[in-house]
Chains A and B, each alone.
Chain A
Amino acid sequence: MSTAHHRIGVPEFLRTGVVFDQLTQDRATELIGRYPVPRSALLPLLHLVQSVEGFVSQDGIAFCADQLALETAEVAAVATFYTMYKRKPCGEHLVSVCTNALCAVLGGDAILRTLTDHLGVAKDGTAGEPGETGSITIEAAECLAACDHAPVVTVDYEYYDEQNPDSALDLVQALQRGEKPHPTRGGALSDFRTAELEIAGIFGDTPEGAARVAAEVDGPSATEQTLRGSHLAEQNHWQAPVMPEHVDLPPVPEKK
């Protein structure tokens, strides 16, 4: 085994000097207003700053802290806990390859190896200049909750099901060319930052956004795998017992 010493450094956030614009401020205010207690909006706010910068910068941390009257240490504590918050600028797309046991045994490890070899970066690395078309950040992901579609790859969290090294390579090469292949399940592919805006909870608060979400929501969601049980039941006319015409709710139990 390697005995090389890797000392874990200090968690750091880049300073970008970004100024979050009025729209972002307004979105932050709206998100905070959704909750009985403002701090509940912290996870959404961190997604929101990622939608602006493509990652969480020190300025993003400070923005969230300001919005919620928290110390920056408290925000950093949260931002470093969750894997979806990136500390280095993300590429146009984030490609996640499931390498948990089940996907891995069906080819997930091979897909990751193929993609990192092709991109020439290690996992969590970015090929291309972040922000530019076709730039890609590649990561190994834990179970993506699509095990019936294993091995699974997501791009900007949209599902590309049942991949193999070749299909995944095709997908990534298309992304690098600036194409946006439609996911197996999910809305039309946009980019990492747009996805982060939706994950923050902002769905179409601008005319363009509304149009996009309206289109995306109808993107496919059910594959053959998803519907296998349903179809099998239909073919065999299997169904749950028929419900009675009318049922009364039970009476309120006597207080003991």
Chain B
Amino acid sequence: MAMSDESPTPAAAAVAPLTPVLTRRWASPRSWTIGTYEQLDGYTALKSVLGGPSPANPDQLIELMKNSGLRGRGGAGFPTGLKWSFLPQGDGKPHYLVVNADEGEPGTCKDIPLMMADPHSLIEGCIITSYAIRAPFCAIYVRGEAIHALRRLTVAVNEAKAKGYLGKNILGSGFDLEIVVHAGAGAYICGEETALLDSLEGRRGQPRLKPPFPAVAGLYACPTVVNNVETICSVPPIVLGGAEWYRSLGTEKSPGPKIYSLSGHVTRPGQYEAPMGTTLRQLIEMAGGMQGGIPLKFFTPGGSSTPIFTPEHLDVPLSFDDVAAAGSMLGTTALMCFNETVSVPWAVWKWLEFYKHESCGKCTPCREGTGWLVQILRRVVTGEGTMADLDTLADAASNIAGRSFCALGDAAATPILSSFKYFRSDFEDLVTGRTAPVVSTHDLVGAH
């Protein structure tokens, strides 16, 4: 098994296997109420920023985020402080903060529990971030189906407002902020930040041309920061603990704790907050091993859009750079674990049905290509495919990857390209009849 080249930082060696920061209040009674939150240091970061005799300089907060090394938790891992610093200052336009809470990447299930269990940490993060980027309006774009998270957030906003943490002249600082909790309506593509912005503007959630980037022309064509829930929730602890403390967790290039979401054929699936760079082997161990002792066959490091890994990647430190070096992406640390009973072509077909269903339709390769791949895969999994089909799959997927308008097209090609890398023979066995069809034609069920 390959080991990572990036050795853990000295500080990391001393830290515990699990390091609850974002999840540390989750088990507290009625953790979602402002009372519990305040008892457990809630809003002290905000008070330290805005509550003193003279409020902090917003640029100090941007500098703090840069120093902390916090990287976006939505999947791409872009440095958060740098993103904030891109907003033009003194341009006379309002600035906006938009929180991407449109969790929907298959395998990803961290933001919704976070918002349900600890909504105030998101609110506090929003207030501090909005102050840092000088935004008078913040929208939390929550996946429409996440009704309980919407409820908790809405009530939390009202509680915060009643306490003077939101609204006019927050804590006497002169800073005004409104937060709107906004529900989406069922479209995976809205997790793409520019599609999210179009959706938040009341349009079809189709990605926008970049440039201009949201930092220059985002919501209502004004400078906008779009950050993931987990990213924003990381802000209050960073303000309280400082950059050095934050960097004592994780790897040098991927500092901080991370919520790893284990799902699938592990004994105890769930949310495990551990330092960045923890390996799947360590996580599976904490989760009680593989279910029934059946060995792992493949897993996604960060959702279905990240190239799959195999048991040989069990010891890859799950940090942005280590995973990239091993040929995948950290994504949302959604670790979907599939054991040896699972047919790879079947899983790939299922995922392609998903991408076809969620393709927004804007660009040709993704709109037409995902449909075509699904048609071919349906034949492959029902035993009606040919070897030529496999060549077509590989070629068509490579014609989508890097040619589509946004990353959804790349993501759709990913399961095919990565599974062909490790498991092409599984496909060949299906089309040559060496293995039986995994699905009968009439069982082609699903959302599709």
Q: Do A's and B's CB atoms come within 8 Å in the complex?
A: yes
Binding site for B on A (CB under 8 A): 1-2, 34-37, 39-44, 46-47, 68, 77-78, 81-85, 96, 99-102, 104-106, 109, 112-113, 123, 139-150, 154, 156-159, 185-187, 195, 198-201, 203, 213, 216-219, 221-222, 224-234, 236, 238-241, 243-244, 247, 249-253
For residue B82, CB closer than 8 A to chain A, the reply is no
Instruction: Verify A247–B201 contact, CB threshold 8 A.
Output: no
Smallest beta-carbon distance A164→chain B, Å: 15
Given A145-B112, A243-B242: 9 more A-B contacts, CB < 8 Å: A101-B336, A101-B354, A104-B446, A105-B346, A142-B357, A147-B108, A198-B150, A233-B273, A239-B19
Number of inter-chain CB pairs below 8 Å: 324
CB contact between A250 and one of B60, B105, B269 (< 8 Å): that residue? B60
CB contact between A229 and one of B30, B137, B239, B270 (< 8 Å): that residue? B270
A231 to B269, CA, bound (A): 13
Secondary structure call for the B interface: mixed
For residue B18, CB closer than 8 A to chain A, the reply is yes
A204 to B26, CA, bound (A): 26
For residue B386, CB closer than 8 A to chain A, the reply is no
Smallest beta-carbon distance A158→chain B, Å: 7
A112 to B155, CA, bound (A): 34
A89 to B106, CA, bound (A): 29
Say yes or no: A101-B350 contact (C-beta < 8 A), given A34-B180, A140-B445, A145-B104.
Answer: yes
Instruction: Verify A226–B154 contact, CB threshold 8 A.
Output: no
Question: Could you say which residues of chain B place their CB within 8 Å of the CB of A225?
Answer: 268-271
Instruction: Verify A185–B148 contact, CB threshold 8 A.
Output: yes
Instruction: Verify A123–B445 contact, CB threshold 8 A.
Output: yes
Smallest beta-carbon distance B195→chain A, Å: 10
Instruction: Verify A229–B273 contact, CB threshold 8 A.
Output: yes
Instruction: Verify B147–A186 contact, CB threshold 8 A.
Output: yes
Instruction: Verify B204–A78 contact, CB threshold 8 A.
Output: yes
Say yes or no: A228-B60 contact (C-beta < 8 A), given A41-B202, A44-B183, A221-B148.
Answer: no
Q: List 16 A-B contacts (CB under 8 A).
A: A1-B378, A43-B183, A82-B184, A99-B446, A104-B446, A109-B446, A142-B188, A147-B263, A148-B271, A150-B263, A150-B264, A221-B32, A228-B269, A238-B20, A239-B16, A241-B14
Smallest beta-carbon distance A104→chain B, Å: 6
Instruction: Verify B151–A228 contact, CB threshold 8 A.
Output: no
A73 to B109, CA, bound (A): 35
Instruction: Verify B187–A82 contact, CB threshold 8 A.
Output: yes
Q: In B148-173, which residues have CB < 8 Å from any A CB?
A: 148, 150-152, 154-155
Question: Could you say which residues of chain A place their CB within 8 Å of the CB of B184?
Answer: 43, 82, 84
Binding site for A on B (CB under 8 A): 11, 14-21, 23-24, 26-27, 30-32, 49, 56-57, 59-61, 63-64, 67, 94, 103-109, 111-113, 116-117, 137, 139, 143-148, 150-152, 154-155, 178, 180-188, 199-205, 220, 237, 239-245, 248-249, 257, 259-264, 268-274, 286-287, 304, 334, 336, 338, 342, 346-347, 350-351, 354, 357-358, 360, 378-379, 382, 384, 441, 443, 445-448
Say yes or no: A145-B148 contact (C-beta < 8 A), given A46-B185, A228-B270.
Answer: no
CB contact between B441 and one of A1, A35, A123, A159 (< 8 Å): that residue? A1
Question: Could you say which residues of chain A place their CB within 8 Å of the CB of B137?
Answer: 36
Instruction: Verify A84–B347 contact, CB threshold 8 A.
Output: no
Instruction: Verify A222–B26 contact, CB threshold 8 A.
Output: yes
A253 to B49, CA, bound (A): 17
Most A Cβ at <10 Å: residue of B11, B178, B199, B447: B447
Instruction: Verify B56–A143 contact, CB threshold 8 A.
Output: no
CB contact between B186 and one of A84, A105, A228, A238 (< 8 Å): that residue? A84
Instruction: Verify A239–B20 contact, CB threshold 8 A.
Output: yes
Question: Could you say which residues of chain A place their CB within 8 Å of the CB of B261?
Answer: 147-148
Question: Could you say which residues of chain A place their CB within 8 Å of the CB of B272?
Answer: 228-229, 232
CB contact between B117 and one of A47, A198, A221 (< 8 Å): that residue? A221
Instruction: Verify A146–B109 contact, CB threshold 8 A.
Output: yes
Instruction: Verify A39–B270 contact, CB threshold 8 A.
Output: no
Smallest beta-carbon distance B63→chain A, Å: 5
Question: Could you say which residues of chain A place their CB within 8 Å of the CB of B182?
Answer: 40, 43-44, 201
Question: Could you say which residues of chain A place their CB within 8 Å of the CB of B237?
Answer: 243
Instruction: Verify A250–B63 contact, CB threshold 8 A.
Output: yes
Say yes or no: A147-B336 contact (C-beta < 8 A), given A47-B185, A228-B268.
Answer: yes
Question: Could you say which residues of chain B place their CB within 8 Å of the CB of A113?
Answer: 443, 445
A184 to B347, CA, bound (A): 27
Instruction: Verify B18–A229 contact, CB threshold 8 A.
Output: yes
Instruction: Verify A198–B147 contact, CB threshold 8 A.
Output: yes
Question: Could you say which residues of chain A place their CB within 8 Å of the CB of B15?
Answer: 240-241
Instruction: Verify B106–A140 contact, CB threshold 8 A.
Output: no
Instruction: Verify A222–B20 contact, CB threshold 8 A.
Output: no
A182 to B175, CA, bound (A): 42
Smallest beta-carbon distance A95→chain B, Å: 13
The 8 tightest CB contacts between A and B, nearest first, are A42-B202, A228-B270, A247-B242, A82-B185, A238-B16, A83-B186, A147-B263, A84-B186
Question: Could you say which residues of chain A place their CB within 8 Å of the CB of B342?
Answer: 105
CB contact between B148 and one of A102, A219, A232 (< 8 Å): that residue? A219
Instruction: Verify A37–B220 contact, CB threshold 8 A.
Output: yes
A227: nearest residue on chain B (CB-CB)?
A: B27
B256: nearest residue on chain A (CB-CB)?
A: A240
Smallest beta-carbon distance B145→chain A, Å: 5
Smallest beta-carbon distance A9→chain B, Å: 17
CB contact between A100 and one of B24, B31, B106 (< 8 Å): that residue? B106
Question: Could you say which residues of chain B place their CB within 8 Å of the CB of A203?
Answer: 151, 154-155
CB contact between B358 and one of A40, A142, A232 (< 8 Å): that residue? A142
Question: Could you say which residues of chain A place their CB within 8 Å of the CB of B205?
Answer: 81-82
Say yes or no: A244-B273 contact (C-beta < 8 A), given A84-B145, A232-B18.
Answer: no
Instruction: Verify B183–A226 contact, CB threshold 8 A.
Output: no
A110: nearest residue on chain B (CB-CB)?
A: B445
Instruction: Verify B447–A253 contact, CB threshold 8 A.
Output: no
A99 to B353, CA, bound (A): 10
Question: Could you say which residues of chain B place their CB within 8 Å of the CB of A222?
Answer: 26-27, 31, 113, 116-117
Question: Could you say which residues of chain A place their CB within 8 Å of the CB of B178?
Answer: 34
Say yes or no: A85-B185 contact (C-beta < 8 A), given A34-B180, A225-B270, A252-B60.
Answer: yes
Say yes or no: A199-B202 contact (C-beta < 8 A), given A123-B445, A225-B269, A239-B19.
Answer: no
Instruction: Verify B202–A78 contact, CB threshold 8 A.
Output: yes
Question: Could you say which residues of chain A place their CB within 8 Å of the CB of B116?
Answer: 185, 221-222
